[in-house]
Structure 1
Amino acid sequence: MFAVRRSAVASAAGAAALCALTACGSGDSTVAKTPEPSAPAPVSTTAAAPPTLTTTPEPGPADPCAVNLAAPAIAKAVSELPRDPRSKQPWNTEPLAGNYNECAPLSAVIVEANTNAANPSTRAVLFHLGKYIPTGVPDTFGFNAIDTTQSTGDTVALKYAGSIEGLGGVVRFRWNGNGVELIGNAPPG
């Protein structure tokens, strides 16, 4: 009988210890342990857009035969030009216009004197297969645009504007296999 009582006492002591650890008490009930209801989650009135899968194509190498007015060969060539004879200033290395590309037998850029004058001098700089043509080129001062409708791979049509409104024209230059030649003037279009 002593063994049964000891077992009952041990069980009662274990239950009391368990109640003490879990904070049981005679006043506890399921209502007291149930959490208070929380406010309902706000309902979105707009549907979320489904995720889109976008892939950015890997950039390929730049096309060497595309017009590139930021090519380093342009800045190098312009920096080698003699100063503008009128203002005595060097030429601005940023072209006003052009069709420079490394693949064309003849291409050009238009640059202006690096001055704050109201009407700075302009000139064309000619290239053969992307290389500056320093000698053997007819006078290219005064041009201020390229007529792309009259230009081809071996011909560059340079526009100039006269000082009298409405006057101006186009002068075409062609790569003849050995150098640049003047092939014709056209009236303003």
Structure 2
Amino acid sequence: MLLATLTACGSGESTVTMTPDPISAATPAAPNAQSPAPAEPTPEPDADDPCPVDLAAPAIARAVSELKKDPRSGQGWNPEPLAGNYNECAQLSAVIVKANTNSPNPNTRAVLFHQGKYISKGAPETFGFNGIDASQTTGDTVALTFTSQAPGLTSMVKYRWNGSAVELVANTP
């Protein structure tokens, strides 16, 4: 049915080739299309997943606004995550935020969530992390990483939701 609609547009560019929708975004653009190629492919949301990762969720900005100021700079935290797997259905998810400074190396920290709600009490201090290892992260476990600018210096700390609180599972250099 979509093919008949596209064919009925006639020759030349159609609005579909000029502004692809999510269904046609997976299909390569016509050779004469003038739009630049994206720098990095954006993964298609899974239509069957009722709780996809959402790094723009309002709950993140609310949680970040509740954080104590960065102890190093005395500044608040930028609500735009550097990394994360925030998911309102996950037993444990996290986002990494940085101090709201102009410093070339701002302090970072992880903000932890249980089923989309900020864990404000009983969670460990999570300063210095700058990523999440997706291969070690599950629905109830988050693997936070610190990668140094020096080559080969990466460490990981795993936290797990135990049914009532966050607990340290592993700490690897």
Taking structure 2 as the reference length, what is the TM-score of the superposition? 0.72
Does residue 183 of the first structure (1) align with residue 169 of the second (2)? yes
Partner residue in 1 for 2:83: 97
Q: Output the CA distance in 1 between the equivalents of 2:83 and 2:149.
A: 20
Distance change in 2, residues 1:62/1:91 (3 Å): farther
TM-aligned CA distance change 1:105 to 1:165, over 3 Å: same
Aligned match of 1:37: none
List per-residue Cα deviations over 1:26-76 (Å, max 9, x = no partner): xxxxxxxxxxxxxxxxxxxxxxx942597x79xxx9954100000000000
Q: Which of 93, 99, 108 matches 2:94?
A: 108
Over the aligned positions, Cα root-mean-square deviation in angstroms equals 2.5
Q: Aligned to 1:139, what secondary structure does the other structure show?
A: coil
Answer yes or no: is 1:73 the counterpart of 2:30: no
The residue aligned with 2:8 is 51
Cα 1:50–1:166 change in 2 (3 A) is closer
Q: Aligned equivalents of 1:177 and 1:171: distance in 2?
A: 19
Structure-1 residue corresponding to 2:117: 131
Pair member with larger Rg: 1
**Alignment-mate amino acid for residue 79 of structure 2:** T
- The 3-state SS of whatever aligns with 1:184 is strand
Return 5+ residue gaps in structure 1 as ranges.
Answer: 1-48
Q: Distance in 1 between matches of 2:150 and 2:52?
A: 35
Opposite residue 154 of structure 2, the aligned amino acid is: G
Shift, 1:185, TM fit: 1.6
Secondary structure (helix, strand or coil) at the match of 2:130 reads strand
Where in structure 2 are there 5+ consecutive unaligned residues? 1-5, 11-15, 23-46
Number of aligned pairs?
Answer: 136
Structure-to-structure mapping, 1:18-57, within 5 angstroms = 50-52=7-9
Q: Distance in 1 between matches of 2:48 and 2:145?
A: 29
